[in-house]
Chain A
Amino acid sequence: MTDTDTETQEIEAGSTGSVPERQAGHEADLAQGDVAYRMSHAAPNLLPGEIRAHPDPWQYVVVAVVLAVITAVEIAVSYMEGDIPDGLIVTLLLAMMVMKFFLVASWFMHLRTDQPVFRRFFIVGSIAAPVLYLVVLATLHGVLQH
């Protein structure tokens, strides 16, 4: 369970009662029907689907600066072809790509502050796509070579 999931549960469970009591109540409510539970426990002053307020503009600027720096490093690394092993370049570039991907998704697309259901949808798509196509590539790569 992630920190966000825990926070979600705490927000949704309300502030009364001990943590075990709230946890038990939360699980019982979920057992009765997740949809009805969420509909009756929306946090005030937030849009449906949000569990925390969005970041402030300065935080967005900081994230953009980090993205810019990572992009600059990416381009620099791509010019090191021949100086360092290709395997290391591929690893570094893919790692930086994943970092940028998740920075945009979590901060700019608000997956950090929205209900986990959105994150789950997106993770299913963004994980399923590479897995599916890696299988296809592994299968067809051999086929096309013959």
Chain B
Amino acid sequence: MEAWPDGRDAATESTNLMTAVEETPTSAGGSGELVPAGAAHDAAAAPGAHDTHTGVANAKLAMWLFLSSDCLFFGAFIATYLLYRGRDGQTGPKPADVYNIPFTSVTSFILLMSSLTMVLALAAVQRGDYRRFRVWLMATALFGATFIGGQIFEFTEFTRKGLNVDTNLFGSSFFILTGIHGTHVLVGIVWLISLWSLSMQSRLSQGDSERVEIAGLYWHFVDIVWIVIFTVIYLLPK
């Protein structure tokens, strides 16, 4: 009979392990009771259940994987901006000619504070306070919309000063980077409003808080990407 280095019998431990896997605890209803593996799958289909094959929620794991890859996506555009920044021989406006730091600081601050309202919305839904959840969620969407409004104003001003996406390398890399970030924010706003609508129809309960948390992860990611963009693109010495 094969034995492990610590003296335990391999066959017995293997049986114990299989039993442990089959008795996967389900978080459905938060009871933590042990159920057979087949029943766990059935329970996962119930409202508020958290589907998992690895011990961590599948949807949450998928979102983190997406965010990890999105770091590389944004990294490519930030690197491109830095590469083309300050190249000699460019025609058209340069960063110092068009940036309005006080204005961008205000919109950046609004986006930063939207992360606070987002976590407050999550905390509210997790304790079953749906009224506050909707208030904080709508505040987050409105902050995001304000940020987008500021970005549209900024783009319009830049265009008026002669900087377009095809004016020079600075214009191309700037508009592509901030435009893609703005698109991410827009997607986030649509996502938040859809969650708000579901809540208004009483189709989002305390047990569905994981859906709000995943939307929140996306929203916070958009925020931290802007933290990097704001510093690297706007604030670093030109």
A residues near B, CB below 8 A? 24, 28, 32-33, 35-42, 44-49, 54, 56-57, 60-61, 63-64, 67-68, 71, 74-75, 77-79, 81, 86, 89-90, 93-94, 96-97, 100-101, 104-105, 107-110, 115, 117-118, 121-122, 124-126, 128-130, 132-133, 136-137, 140-141, 144
**By the criterion CB–CB under 8 Å, are B82 and A137 in contact?**
yes
**By the criterion CB–CB under 8 Å, are A101 and B224 in contact?**
yes
Segment among B53-61, B153-161, B187-195 that sits at the interface with chain A: B53-61
Contacts of A101 in B (CB 8 A): 224, 227-228
Contacts of B113 in A (CB 8 A): 64, 68
* Top 3 A-B residue pairs of the complex, sorted by shortest distance between their CB atoms: A38-B55, A125-B68, A129-B75
B interface, size bucket: 35 or more
Of residues 162 to 196 in B, which have CB atoms within 8 Å of A's CB atoms? none
With the chains together, A54 CA to B65 CA distance in Å? 21
Closest to A140 in B: B83
Question: What is the distance, in angstroms, from A134's C-beta to the closest C-beta of chain B?
Answer: 8
With the chains together, A47 CA to B126 CA distance in Å? 11
Of residues 182 to 238 in B, which have CB atoms within 8 Å of A's CB atoms? 209-210, 213, 216-217, 220-221, 223-224, 227-228, 231-232, 234-237
Contact among B67, B70, B79, B223 for A133, CB-based, below 8 A: B79
Contacts of A39 in B (CB 8 A): 20-21, 24-25, 52, 54-55
Contact among A90, A96, A118 for B56, CB-based, below 8 A: A118
Closest to B4 in A: A28
B50 at the interface (CB under 8 A from A): yes
Contact among B20, B52, B101, B217 for A48, CB-based, below 8 A: B52
Contacts of B228 in A (CB 8 A): 97, 101
Contacts of A28 in B (CB 8 A): 4, 6, 8
